[in-house]
Amino acid sequence: MIRYIVITLLLLPAASAVQQLLPVIGPLHGARLLIVPLVFLCCAVTVDLPVMLLLAFCAGFLWDAQAVVLPPMESAMASVSLPESLPFGASMPLFALSGALMQGVQPLFRRGNWRISALLTGVVLLVHLAMEFAVLSFLRGGFHLPRATFLQMTSSAGITMLLSPLCFVLLFRIAAACDHPLHPAAGRRRTRVN
Amino acid sequence: MKPLNLLALLLFIGGVVWALTRSERSVRAIQQAYLSVMSPFIRSGAGTDSAARLFLRETRHSRELETELAFLRPELGRLGFYEQRCRELEQENAQLREALDFKKNSKFEVIAARVTRRYPSPHSQTVEIDAGTRRGVRPQMPVLSSEGLVGRIESVAPDGEHASVLLLSDEKCQVPAWVQGSSEEGILTGQRGFSGDPMLRLRFLTTQAAVRPGQRVYTSGRGGVFPADVSLGEIQSVEKGALDSEALVRPSVNFPDLGAVFVVLSAAQSPK
């Protein structure tokens, strides 16, 4: 189990690296494949709460290190006001909330029904993006959701969800290699039948 | 809640508070470390991104080109039609200018006419012209072009506006002719079923006819139908027979491109 946790932790920086390689999909309302949130959400359903919180901390750390916009250092540019972005660390609780939502279907997942989790990935990802947008709107003052932003969020969540089965397959392989059963309930049921 | 979960939650909250309370300098240092590790991926990602943008732009561009092509294709057809029409008008203009010159310089009293229709029969070489009895056209009148003899009026239409011309290339059209540079005379006729570039036949030459390829053939004016000394063609080959000789003559007139013609209303007859 320790090996599995370590590997899932290492998957997050790997996902962050892959994230840099993926282009924006212009024709799909500028959608992006959100690999870091995807890996986190898929991992979150396979682990217990303490590990999920650890993963949320790491994923939030990486996400904010990439996304936080700081004001320029030069004094000449000091007067330039940038739009408020999420403060460093603000993504961590959002990831934790998304992970908690994913853990809501963990009993089904443990029974071997990972397809529900795969579908839920898209929904939770959309909720995650909506929460991020809501916090940003709160910080900037005034809530206004343009149609283009909504379409971008839904498209991003949709196309990322399509990759979730692949992510689960990868996690099953890793779990098998680490001798860590991801479906203990299913295994117990089989044993009882025998 | 399990004590382990509670402990993990407390630790997580502590971690979040730690992260949120980082100074700008610390965050900048974290970001710099992150970017230095990720810089090769970011560079590659920028390349992928620009390649994807280029691909999309090319796709969009090709779609635009396709639309433009679909729009321009009928336009091209239309312009092609206009160009063709312009060429036809240009050709017609040149013919009419030539005709005007011919009419001015002609020693005959002629009227100009245009070929309006060609009869498609393979057995008769006739065309219709837009001049009839109203303009003084009568059967048997010779028809010329600036190149030479075209034929004769075969019939006139009852409406008085049109007439049918029997071309020199028809075998029924027989023209007394003489060969330039010799005393040879014969009858020039067309050939039956000769399609495309017609050839004429000069018959009844003497067996000792001193004619050779390249010599020109003119009307002799005998019979009173055709005026004398109108160009008919050029000898291509000579066939000597037992009783007489024949020559194959390439006509002066380009029959397939016949446009403007002249009907000779009256001519000073001077048989050769």
CA distance B71 to A57: 58
Q: Select from A23, A65, A92 the Cβ nearest to the Cβ of B15.
A: A92
Whether the full predicted model's pTM is greater than 0.90, yes or no, is no
pLDDT tens-place string over residues A86-131: 788 888 999 999 999 998 888 888 887 888 888 899 999 999 999 9
Give the Cα separation of A96 and A44 in Å (integer). Answer: 9
Q: How many CB atoms lie within 10 A of CB B243?
A: 7
- pLDDT, position A127: 92
Inter-chain CB proximity B38 and A96 less than 8 Å = no
ipTM above 0.90, yes or no: no
DSSP string, chain B: --HHHHHHHHHHHHHHHHHHT--HHHHHHHHHHHHHHHHHHHHHHHHHHHHHHHHHHHHHHHHHHHHHHHHHHHHHHHHHHHHHHHHHHHHHHHHHHHHHHHHHH-SSEEEEEEEEEE---SS--EEEES--GGGT--TT-EEE-SSSEEEEEEEE-TTSS-EEEEETTSTT--EEEEETTS--EEEEE--TT--SS--EEEEEE-TT----TT-EEEE--TTSSS-TT-EEEEEEEEEE-SS-EEEEEEESS-GGG--EEEEEEE------
Exposure of B220 in the CB half-sphere (CA atoms within 13 A): 18
pLDDT for B156-197, tens place per residue?
888 888 899 988 888 788 899 999 888 889 999 887 655 567
Q: Which residue of A has its CA nearest to B34?
A: A65
> Which H helix or E strand runs over A36?
helix A35-44
**In contact, B210 and B182? CB cutoff 8 Å:** yes
Residue of A162, A160, A173 whose CA lies nearest to A46: A173
Q: Which residues of chain A have pLDDT under 70?
A: 70-84, 183-194
Chain A positions in Cβ-Cβ contact with residue B52 (cut-off 8 Å): 23-26
Neighbours of B102 (CB within 10 A): 18
Which residues of A are less than 8 Å from B27 in CB distance? Answer: 68, 70, 88
What CATH number was assigned to the domain covering residues B110-264?
2.40.10.350
Which of chain A's residues have a Cβ under 8 Å away from the Cβ of B53? 23, 26
Helix pair angle (A147-177, A35-44), 10° resolution: 50
- Cβ atoms within 10 Å of A165's Cβ, excluding its own: 16
Cβ contact B53–A23 (<8 Å): yes
> What's the start-to-end Cα distance of chain A, in Å?
26
Of the candidate CATH numbers 1.10.8, 2.40.160, 1.20.120, 1.10.1760, the domain formed by A2-68+85-179 belongs to 1.10.1760
Contacts of A36 in chain B (CB under 8 A): none
Tell which residue, A26, A76, A92, has the closest CA to residue B19: A92
Please tell me whether residue A25 adopts helix, strand or coil conformation: strand
How many angstroms separate the Cα of B148 from the Cα of each of A51, B63, B102, B227? Answer: 108, 59, 11, 11
Cα separations in angstroms, B236 against A96, B86, B217: 104, 36, 11
Sort out which chain B residues have CB atoms less than 8 A from A87's CB and list them.
20
User: Which stretches in chain B have pLDDT values below 70?
Assistant: 120-124, 192-196, 267-272
Chain B environment of A159 (Cβ under 8 Å): none
Chain A contact residues (CB < 8 Å to B): 13, 16-18, 20-27, 48-50, 53-54, 56-57, 60-62, 64-66, 68, 70-71, 73, 87-90, 92-93, 96
Query: What integer pLDDT is reported at residue A99 of this predicted model?
Result: 93
CB pair distance less than 8 Å for A23 and B24: no
Buried residues in B151-169 as b, exposed as e (16+ CB within 10 A): bbbbebeeeebbbbbbbbb
Domain ranges of chain A: 2-68+85-179
Select the residue from B18, B27, B36 to test the A interface by mutation, using most A Cβ atoms within 10 A.
Answer: B27
pLDDT score of B217: 93
The Cα B135–Cα B153 span in angstroms is 13
Q: How far from chain centre, in Å, is Cα A3? A: 21
Total Cβ atoms within 10 A of residue B252: 21
Q: Which of A17, A65, A88 sits opposite B41 (nearest CB)?
A: A17
* Residue B1: closest C-alpha in chain A: A49
pLDDT recorded at residue A82: 53
pLDDT for A194 equals: 44
Please report the pLDDT score of residue A61 as a whole number.
92
- List the single residue in A16, A64, A88 with the smallest CB-CB distance to B38: A16
**Annotated domain spans of chain B:** 39-105, 110-264
Closest-CA distance, A150 to chain B, in angstroms, reads 22
